[in-house]
Amino acid sequence: MRQSEGCGFGLACPTCGSREVVRIGYVGRGSFRVQRFQCRCCGRTFTELEGTPFKGVHDPKALVAVAYLRLRAGLSESSIARLLGIPYPTVRRLSRRVLEHRGFMERLLDVLLEAHI
């Protein structure tokens, strides 16, 4: 997403690039709520997670755990599934997402680990 000048939210529509977006509430449950937006030009709705590996993930903690165990500890998907008690197909899907966004996840892990050291 690009920096916005018009709307003040710091993003643009991922479909048409318009900066004319409005907030239309939140999606999510519990403590994991994500801001939702709608483009005034094309009408598409999207969230602030658009373009990140967290888009569509219901359990962001699981994604971070899989990223750490896969990228830093070098564990296999089956080992991660056993360790976390998560079904293997879920770990496989999250692992693919981690590897597709490897640079993003590496930087995120650096920030998270640096904050706790």
Mean pLDDT throughout 65-82?
Answer: 90
Which tens digit of pLDDT belongs to each residue from 3-34?
334 454 678 999 999 999 999 998 876 677 88
Q: What residue ranges do the domains of the chain occupy?
A: 1-51, 60-115
Helix, strand or coil, per DSSP, at residue 15: coil
Of the CA atoms within 13 Å of residue 49, those in its CB half-sphere come to 14
pLDDT band for position 37 (cuts 50, 70, 90): very high
pLDDT on residue 1 = 40
According to DSSP, residue 35 is labeled: E
The fold for domain 60-115 equals Arc Repressor Mutant, subunit A (1.10.10)
What are 59's two structure tokens? 């359990």
Determine which of 4-8, 57-61, 90-94, 109-113 has the lowest per-residue pLDDT on average. Answer: 4-8
- What distance in Å separates the CA atoms of residue 86 and residue 4, rounded to the nearest whole number? 39
